[in-house]
Amino acid sequence: MGKVPLIRHGAAVVSECGAICAYLADAFPEAGLAPPAGDPARAAYYRWLFFGAGPVEAAVGDAMMKVQPSPEQRGMVGYGCMADVMEMLEYAVQDGGFLAGERFSAADVYLGSQIGWGMHFGTLEKRPALERYWAKLEARPAAQRARAIDEALMPPQPAA
């Protein structure tokens, strides 16, 4: 399929953004990017990580292709409709914490990136709760370091 991104870690090959995030969080537990097994926060971690991989990806892809499920089809597409997805995203971040509780996790890396990217490029509606959540993620020192690395790797852009 020519999937990007894809990582190779030793003998393991992992594609799909959500799977990569979950794999790396488990491969490097010292980073604290996943609640430990048995922790009740692990349920929210999985919920929101896979909500991004399923309903958000499908709803955004369909919307970009101008596909809108009819009310009768909404139960069959796995996300209902884009309005339902937006309501769930807003619900996920409404309390001001992170997706799996008070600690940043790989679910925030993945779903947070989808929210930020989507609002930036207009594939997700800007809503105050989503904007507050994204601003909190962007302000993290690790996010600022990652952005600096990315920007340093970008080729110079011609002047407009």
Alpha-carbon gap, residue 146 to 64, rounded angstroms: 28
Summarised one tens digit per residue, pLDDT across range 18-43 is 999 999 999 999 999 999 999 999 99
Q: Token pair of 96, please?
A: 């001001």
6 φ, ψ (degrees, to nearest 5): -150, 140
In the chain, what are the domains?
39-153 (1.20.1050.10)
Q: Token pair of 28, please?
A: 């490097």
Q: What is the pLDDT of residue 3?
A: 67
Q: What is the pLDDT of residue 82?
A: 95
Q: Token pair of 69, please?
A: 């499920």
Torsion, CA 135, CA 111, CA 120, CA 154, rounded to 10: 90
Summarised one tens digit per residue, pLDDT across range 43-75 is 999 999 999 999 999 999 999 999 999 999 999
Q: What is the pLDDT of residue 158?
A: 84
Predicted TM-score of the model (pTM): 0.90
Alpha-carbon gap, residue 118 to 107, rounded angstroms: 16
Is residue 68 within 8 Å of residue 81, measured between CB atoms?
A: yes
